[in-house]
Amino acid sequence: MQKISTLIIDDEFHARENLKLLLTEFCPQINIVGEADGIQSALKQIDSKKPHLLFLDIRMPSGAEGFELLDLIPDKSIRVIFITAFKEYAIKAFKANAIDYLLKPVDIQELKNAVAKIKLTDFTNEQNNQYINQLKSLTSSLGILNDKISISNKKGIKVIYQKDIIRLEADGNCTILFFSDNTSYFDTRTLKKYEQILNKNNFYRVHKSHIINLNYVQEYSRELRPIITMKNGVKIPVSRLKVKALTAILKSL
């Protein structure tokens, strides 16, 4: 039996290890040729290993990266099984566009079913185009492609990706944006305005002065007072009025 060469792409080491164990034990038709923890390492592996199949985490590591990777892959015949922690709204979009997906934590039977659908036969251009259109329709349904926004101050206008924003903090009637590359930018819009325009699947206003990117949350503590610790170590106060809603959101991630 010809095996399906497979690449696992997930920024979480333990998630990759768990999936490798499941594939090795329950999917004998799979040959794992490599793994990657981000876009650049994934592209190198795809170029060198030429996999037939990708297991792709679509929240890796912050929001849109999994989908951005698809735009950069020259070989559109590669099949993709998405791995996601998205719930409800996203699952409807996956089903509507006939896209294979697995929910975390991965269920063994669902994994076996998804792998069983993958065939090694060559796809025609028409089939490839149809598959690509399905992926585009999915990303549109999830609002993931509309990820750019512009920010402005007296110095000019800057176009940025929402996924690069770690958090936002009010400064009077203006806002300071903090980015994943440790830079910050002062914008003349209010925090309330940002609450309206940012992707609500990724951003949440935890306090009258703070909006956080949920993808960068490291820890939530309620020992003395509600505090969110971001992955860069910054601690953000949480309004007591937001505790219940925030707890529910974090549990669903």
Give domain limits for the chain: 4-142, 148-252
pLDDT number for residue 63: 44
This prediction has a pTM of 0.56
Q: Which residues, in sequence order, are bridge partners of residue 170?
A: 175
Each residue's pLDDT expressed in tens, for the chain with a length of 253 residues? 689 999 999 888 888 999 999 999 999 999 999 999 888 889 999 999 999 999 988 766 544 456 677 777 777 678 888 887 665 546 665 665 556 778 878 899 999 998 988 876 555 556 666 666 666 666 655 555 457 788 877 778 888 888 899 999 999 999 999 999 999 999 989 999 999 888 887 899 999 999 999 989 999 998 789 999 999 999 999 999 999 999 988 887 6
Amino acid at 185: Y
- 4-142: CATH architecture: 3-Layer(aba) Sandwich (3.40)
pLDDT number for residue 119: 72
N residues, the chain: 253
Q: Can 4-142 and 148-252 be said to share one CATH topology?
A: no
Number of H-type helices and E-type strands within the chain: 8, 15
Q: How far is residue 226 CA from its own chain's centroid?
A: 26
How many Cβ atoms sit within 10 Å of the Cβ of residue 155?
8
- 148-252: CATH architecture: Beta Barrel (2.40)
Q: Which residues, in sequence order, are bridge partners of residue 136?
A: none
In this structure, are residues 183 and 249 in contact, taking their beta carbons and an 8 Å threshold? no
Element (H, E) at 13: helix 13-26
pLDDT number for residue 182: 93
pLDDT number for residue 91: 64
Cα separation, 91 vs 244, whole angstroms: 24
How many Cβ atoms sit within 10 Å of the Cβ of residue 238?
21
Alpha-carbon torsion, ordered 101, 107, 109, 114, to 10 deg: 20
